[in-house]
Amino acid sequence: MVARDIPTMAKKMATRAKRNLNELLPEEIINNIFLEFSVKDLLRLRSVCKSWLFLISSPNFVKTHVMIMYNIFLRLSVHDLLRLRSVCKSWLSIISSRDFIKTRLIISTRDPQFTYHRLLLGGEPLDFAICSVYSLLREPYTERRLDYSDESLLDELLTATLIDSNVQCVVGCCNGLVCLASNDGHAIFWNPATRQSRRLPKPDTIDHFRAYNGFCYDELNDDYKVIFIYSCSPWPGRSDYKVSVYSSKSDCWRLIGDFPFLTVSLGGEFADGAMHWKGRNDTEKENVIVSFDIITEEYQDILLPEYGEDENHVTDWTMDTFGGNLSVLLGFRDIRRDFWVMKERDVKEPWTKLFSIPYNIDGLTNSFYISPIYISVNGDILIYSDTTIVVYNSEDQTLKGLPDGYFQSLSVFSYVESLVSPHL
């Protein structure tokens, strides 16, 4: 055999192999095999024969293949998805679509294993760390402190802001975005997973007694909003508080009027389409939860759970969110702390008690601030206690803390890693 005959024979063998494959396997099985291939492999297979070209190019095959890749991508981390965007245009189109970003966020939020749930731990001065909720509940604990030169976490804007010691506080987290307030009056949207950030315009009001009090998502209008409650007086009264709202859709601030309550806590909690603050009404002068509907822009005061005769023994209370619902922790004098969530509004008894924590638990007895964050499928409760994170088992009433040397946090914010862009 001469050398020039080799290509001819190889071509004949390839042709025979194609014919044998098409004869041995029905088109339906070949179709299912091709659905498992990457776009790169499919592009190469189109040139093998006309029947394969016709199959791979058919609208039905393309649609089915896209749906398979769509479902595979939904299970991947943000880190992997960012890398896959550069593989081909079709993958970029899938991963960048609003439908995919929203669907992945819903699936990640509802994941009972908390695979993509994170805690943003705020220290001092202006020190942050990010840790995995999954690792906190299952070990080994993983923590990543924010290095201002770490390009895998921070973009140029946020790096400059942090280096200049210009971050005042974390306003809140919503759909994977973190809202930061800077000392120069700006707010910043930041996605820790994609390391993108965006500086918002300043509110029109210029005063010395301002505070960003809430970060929320208007699902009806697909709009991210920041609530700004302020006073121009160093001794504000009921009529001195004003409220402005920033809309990401309009990219501007709008004054909506007076704040109709005596006092308001600095940080707000977003749940069930409304912002919530600890406050007091000006009639009975009792502690209430101030609710602000972000769509109707109407206020409502929500009473704490009723205790009857035990109500006079409530010595302290904290408010937070738990599993997307508004929650409160009520403390009784050296006896216990009861944890309640509001799963339904506008019903006779909106509060449901989930569990109680005795005061005499070692490690929590002298804690000034306690806030349950997550509860695992096996009943372990992740709790932020003063400056650290602990895991409490309600069945045997045991407490497990982190090893020595880990981040001591002055604040904790939970979020889910997402592809939501701050450039909305």
pLDDT, tens digit (0-9, with 9 covering 90-100), for 109-129? 999 899 999 988 876 555 678
Q: How confident is the model at residue 149 (pLDDT cuts 50, 70, 90)?
A: very low
Alpha carbon separation from 53 to 26, 224, 227 (Å, rounded): 16, 46, 56
Mean pLDDT of the residues in the chain:
78
Q: How confident is the model at residue 282 (pLDDT cuts 50, 70, 90)?
A: low
Q: What is the DSSP string of 241-280?
A: -EEEEEETTTTEEEEEEE--SSEE-SS-EEETTEEEEEEE
Q: How confident is the model at residue 81 (pLDDT cuts 50, 70, 90)?
A: very high
pLDDT over threshold 70, residue 131: yes
Query: pTM for the complete prediction?
Result: 0.81
Q: How confident is the model at residue 303 (pLDDT cuts 50, 70, 90)?
A: confident
Summarize the confidence of residues 279-290 as an average pLDDT: 72
Summarize the confidence of residues 60-77 as an average pLDDT: 82
Q: Residue 58 domain-assigned?
A: yes
CA 308 vs. chain centroid, Å, equals 37
**Are the beta carbons of 229 and 240 closer than 8 angstroms?**
no
Q: Residue 275 domain-assigned?
A: no
**338: CB partners within 8 A, 6+ apart:** 305, 329, 330, 332, 353, 356
Q: Residue 9 domain-assigned?
A: yes
Alpha carbon separation from 318 to 20, 86, 113 (Å, rounded): 72, 46, 26
Q: How confident is the model at residue 10 (pLDDT cuts 50, 70, 90)?
A: very low
pLDDT over threshold 70, residue 20: no
- Which has more pLDDT, 268 or 206? 268
Number of folded domains that form the chain? 1
Burial state string for 51-83 with b = 16 or more CB within 10 A and e = fewer than 16: ebeebbeeeebeeebeeebbeebeeeebeebee
pLDDT digits (tens, 9 = 90+) for 339-388: 999 988 877 888 999 988 888 777 676 677 788 888 888 888 888 887 77
The packing angle between helices 89-96 and 98-110, to 10°, is 60
pLDDT digits (tens, 9 = 90+) for 266-279: 778 999 999 998 87
Q: Residue 43 domain-assigned?
A: yes
The packing angle between helices 27-34 and 59-73, to 10°, is 40
pLDDT over threshold 60, residue 162: no
Q: How confident is the model at residue 13 (pLDDT cuts 50, 70, 90)?
A: very low
Bridge partners, residue 197, by sequence = 190
CA distance 73 to 409: 34
Summarize the confidence of residues 72-100 as an average pLDDT: 90
Q: What is the pLDDT of residue 315?
A: 75
Q: Residue 41 domain-assigned?
A: yes
Q: Residue 203 domain-assigned?
A: no
CA distance 299 to 319: 18
Structure tokens of 142? 């993983």
Alpha carbon separation from 55 to 43, 44, 47, 50, 90 (Å, rounded): 12, 13, 12, 9, 18
Q: What is the pLDDT of residue 98?
A: 93
Full domain range(s) for residue 59 = 1-73
Q: Residue 52 domain-assigned?
A: yes
pLDDT digits (tens, 9 = 90+) for 186-200: 888 999 899 888 889
CB atoms within 10 A of CB 192: 24
Residue type for position 260: P
Q: Residue 67 domain-assigned?
A: yes
